[in-house]
Structure 1
Amino acid sequence: MSDTHARSDAELVAAAAAGSESAFRALYRAYIRPVFWIAHGLVGTRADAEDVAQETFMAAWRKLPELDLAGDSLLPWLATICRFQAANRVRRQQRDRANLSASADETLPATIDVERDVVEAQLVERILREVRTLSELDQQIFRLCAAEGYAYHEAAERLGVSHGVVRNRLSRIRTRLRSTIEPEGT
């Protein structure tokens, strides 16, 4: 028989497993609606059911060569794949929601304090203005140790000076900056 509609599921499965796209299309057309409604009953939304139905047929296409169709209908096998696909989707959505809420909690500040942000920005600007008045070596020491977190000996090696020079100069820089950032009038 050349008409795929008159062929049994077993014949269509065998042809599709051998690579016949037309046989697989015939199986798809025959079972997409029942698979969709099974999926819809499991996931609850049309969009998710459509995705699960498509995922079911993609998985079926990959697994067809292994299938030994025992009954007259492919539907029980497709329904089993559909249930697994739906369960995977539901687990993935639950995990995504949990991750999204956890990451939202971690990344969003509890409250926005505009006044604090303005004061901090002004403080940073005063510090940077004061650092620009320092000698070139002191600016480099400040950048390496205070801004980039280098240890004294690492900064000393990079700058070609001794450990003591870095330690002593950084101490003087900090004292100078402390006097700069203390609120006026205190």
Structure 2
Amino acid sequence: MPVQTSDQRWVAQAAAGDESAFRELYRLYVRPVYWIAHGIIGSAADAEDVTQETFVTAWRKLPGLELQGESVLPWLATICRFQAANRMRQRRRDQAHTADAPDENLPATISVEDQVITTDLAERIATEIGTLSELDREIFRLCAAEGYAYQAAAEELGISHAVVRNRLSRVRTRLRGAVKEASEA
């Protein structure tokens, strides 16, 4: 019997209606989803709305999800891209009815190429995170995804501040390398 990853376990429990499992998925991925939305839209307020819409949509669609791979992030990134595209269309419609000048901050459309790049990038990051040691994944989750300070993460994990700082620095360097490789491919 194959071993389930934590994402697969949380998805299965959330799909069965377990709200606490869904809260855990939200906690783990709200920041990456926000930054994907912000990268597409460029507005913090709209990125927050798109992030919330992404998770509302994810909650509704979880019962039919067959998770491919170990991470739910690529699936959430896809939902986020569609929600961001919907938000930009709505803003353009609203603007057409209420303003004379177009908003130059809005991209005209999200190209298929940009959508593929975003999906590939999310998958590459998720894959790279999956190759980290358990301790490095926990440090990354606490500091990068949940916003813990180094000392708070160190206390949570029972290790020193220096260990958290050094390992997180190596993880970030590794992820930057993965992102760079993905963007050059």
State yes or no: 1:8 paired with 2:6.
Answer: yes
Residue 70 of structure 2 corresponds to 72
- 1:129-164 CA-partner distances (Å, limit 9, x unpaired): xxxxxxxxxxxxxxxxxxxxxxxxxxxxxxxxxxxx
CA distance in 2, matches of 1:54, 1:62: 13
CA distance in 1, matches of 2:27, 2:75: 16
CA distance in 2, matches of 1:7, 1:16: 14
Residue 79 of structure 2 corresponds to 81
Match of 1:99 among 97, 103, 117: 97
Residue 147 of structure 1 corresponds to none
Matches within 5 A, 1:23-42: 23-42=21-40
> 1:30 is aligned with what amino acid?
L
Q: How many residues align?
A: 97
Kindly, what percent of the aligned residue pairs are identical?
67
Residue 128 of structure 2 corresponds to none
Query: In the TM superposition, what is the alpha-carbon distance from 1:101 to its structure 2 partner?
Result: 3.2
Residue 49 of structure 1 corresponds to 47
Query: In the TM superposition, what is the alpha-carbon distance from 1:46 to its structure 2 partner?
Result: 0.7
Query: In the TM superposition, what is the alpha-carbon distance from 1:7 to its structure 2 partner?
Result: 6.1
Query: In the TM superposition, what is the alpha-carbon distance from 1:8 to its structure 2 partner?
Result: 1.1
CA distance in 1, matches of 2:5, 2:69: 14
CA distance in 1, matches of 2:68, 2:6: 12
Runs of 4+ in 1 over 6 A off after TM superposition: none
CA distance in 1, matches of 2:45, 2:7: 28
CA distance in 1, matches of 2:97, 2:8: 44
State yes or no: 1:21 paired with 2:29.
Answer: no
Query: In the TM superposition, what is the alpha-carbon distance from 1:45 to its structure 2 partner?
Result: 1.0
Q: Which has more radius of gyration? A: 1
Query: In the TM superposition, what is the alpha-carbon distance from 1:99 to its structure 2 partner?
Result: 1.3
CA distance in 2, matches of 1:21, 1:82: 20
Gaps in structure 1 of 5+ consecutive residues: 1-5, 103-186
Query: In the TM superposition, what is the alpha-carbon distance from 1:78 to its structure 2 partner?
Result: 0.2
Q: TM-score, normalised by structure 2?
A: 0.51
Residue 114 of structure 1 corresponds to none
CA distance in 2, matches of 1:59, 1:82: 9
CA distance in 1, matches of 2:98, 2:74: 36
- 1:25-71 CA-partner distances (Å, limit 9, x unpaired): 00000000000000000110111100000000000000000100011
CA RMSD of aligned residues (A): 1.5
Residue 134 of structure 2 corresponds to none
CA distance in 2, matches of 1:23, 1:80: 21
CA distance in 1, matches of 2:7, 2:51: 19
Q: TM-score, normalised by structure 1?
A: 0.50
